[in-house]
Amino acid sequence: MKNFASLYTQLDQTTKTNAKVSALAQYFEQSNQEDQLWTVAILSHRRPKRTVNSTLLRTWAAEMADIPSWLFEESYHVVGDLSEAIALTLPRPQVENSHSLTYWIEYIMSLDKLEEAEKKERIFAAWQSMDYTERLVFNKLITGGFRIGVSQKLMVRALSQYTGIDENILAHRLMGNWTPTETSFKSLILTKDPLEDISKPYPFYLAYALENEPENLGAPAEWLAERKWDGIRGQLIVRKEELFVWSRGEELVTDKFPEYHPLAKLLPDGTVIDGEILPYKEGRPLTFNDLQTRIGRKNVTKSILKKAPVIMMAYDLLEWQGEDIRHYPFQERRRRLEQMVANHDTKGLLLLSETLDFHSWADLVVERENSREHHSEGLMLKRKDSPYQAGRKKGDWWKWKIDPLTIDAVMIYAQRGHGRRANLFTDFTFAVWDGDALVPFAKAYSGLTDKEFREITSWVRRNTRERFGPVHSVEPTFVFEIAFEGIRASSRHKSGVALRFPRISRWRKDKPLREANTLEDLKEMLSAL
């Protein structure tokens, strides 16, 4: 554990990519294969599940530190991170340990079936044998909150340095439904020809947001353009007459979308399609809100299938007749995809994402402005000769999203942030006018500068009317422009609407309070979409 805790400190203390890769590669060099495997799992979001709830940990930390609960809670609110607050509060360790990362993860997993008293005893024993950094890492693992500024891409780069294996090969080996309790570092990473896993997807190729004018991309003739569909990115795999559907988040979702199951017989063997899981009915896409009715449900009922059926909107072909064709130019992959769709009757379950006909960038400006009419988020621009790469690479694929919807709203509640912003008020609740009353409709916590957050924090401290735990009710004074991607009706919210991805766009210091938007304005937006 000491090696892993040291790695955590090194990664946390630098923002330099090369330094992080070097620290990881050195760690892999010095660690045993069990710890290597768990480190790969942790950094690819395969952490052990939470076995002790945070309320118990807070109570036990206060007890072990011999301080009242209110004092620990105040300390926690100042620090902003529960794992760090516990590590800082606990007394010095009474014994030392030399246990490995794997030992402590198995220790954490073993707590799951224990009674509360036994859990407490084992947590105390662990805390008493660890220094500050080990406690911090242990706490983050046990709460399921282990996050650090290392992407899977950086971890793969470090693995490549350590093993000498190409990054793309490693990225592919790490895809799929593997767990560290059912495999080994050798079989997952080092085996040249591992046992074939017919369900294994390819790493997704991710586009960068286009923030400059499209003219900077060069000649329009070098590019293909299509709609950016508002669904869930997915890969549809048919191998050995079996079907597998993966989301971009590496979740196997085959059972959640039974509509696709007939494609196992309708598509040729050895086919992998990149596309969009899209709600689609009566010849047109539905909204993402319709798709949300199916996300997270364990059982897909007939009524849900009827209300929000899905199709696969295909836009790339990654494997054809069992051959990996990702290195082919996009135009060639696209040609083969078009042929496959034309030659196989998929009963309307697989549709081709049409490319747009354009001769100038000005033509695409018009298409982009009309995106909402097509229930799309904007446009995708793909260089015709581009291979299908792994991860986010700049240059060949761009997403050109439409401008967000905006509304002016009044801040009515404020709450402190977490981490480095624990002493600042950064989380806000906003309201719009309904007659003479302010009705809350959204929460947002991003979009302002640190300087603006400090200014608001100073003001909140002077203008708090009431406190509800960590939430401060403030005098309605300031108007902010709130940007969001979509809006839907919601019976769960007092306003009757819910926004998609709300964030602060700007502080409207120029705008009087009464000129903020109204609930009627929000409902008009809803009816217009």
Q: In Å, what is the CA distance from 528 to each residue of 210, 366, 521? A: 27, 19, 11
Q: In Å, what is the CA distance from 241 to each residue of 172, 265, 318, 329? A: 22, 6, 17, 27
Give dist(CA 241, CA 267) in Å, integer.
9
Q: What is the dihedral of CA 266, 272, 275, 281, to 10 degrees?
A: 10
pTM for this prediction: 0.71
Contacts of residue 25, Cβ cutoff 8 Å, sequence gap at least 6:
158, 159, 161, 162
SS3 369: helix
Give dist(CA 357, CA 493) in Å, integer.
42
pLDDT tens-digit map of 452-465: 999 999 999 999 99
Domains located in the chain, CATH noted: 2-143 (1.10.3260.10), 205-401 (3.30.470.30), 405-528 (2.40.50.140)
Q: Are 415 and 498 in contact (CB under 8 A)?
A: no
Tens digits of pLDDT across the chain (529 residues): 889 999 989 988 888 989 999 999 999 999 999 999 999 999 888 888 888 999 999 999 999 999 999 999 888 877 878 899 999 999 998 888 889 999 999 999 999 889 999 999 999 999 999 999 999 999 999 987 777 778 888 999 999 999 999 887 888 888 877 889 989 999 888 886 544 578 889 999 999 999 889 999 999 999 999 999 999 999 999 999 899 999 998 888 888 899 999 999 999 999 999 999 999 998 999 888 788 878 767 778 888 888 899 999 999 999 999 999 999 999 999 999 999 999 999 999 999 999 999 999 999 999 999 998 888 999 999 999 999 998 888 899 999 999 999 999 999 999 988 766 777 899 999 999 999 999 999 999 888 888 999 999 999 999 999 988 889 999 999 999 999 988 888 888 889 999 989 999 999 999 999 999 999 999 998 887 7
**Where does 269-375 show beta strands of DSSP type E?**
271-281, 284-285, 310-320, 323-324, 350-352
Q: Which two tokens stand for residue 209?
A: 């947001």
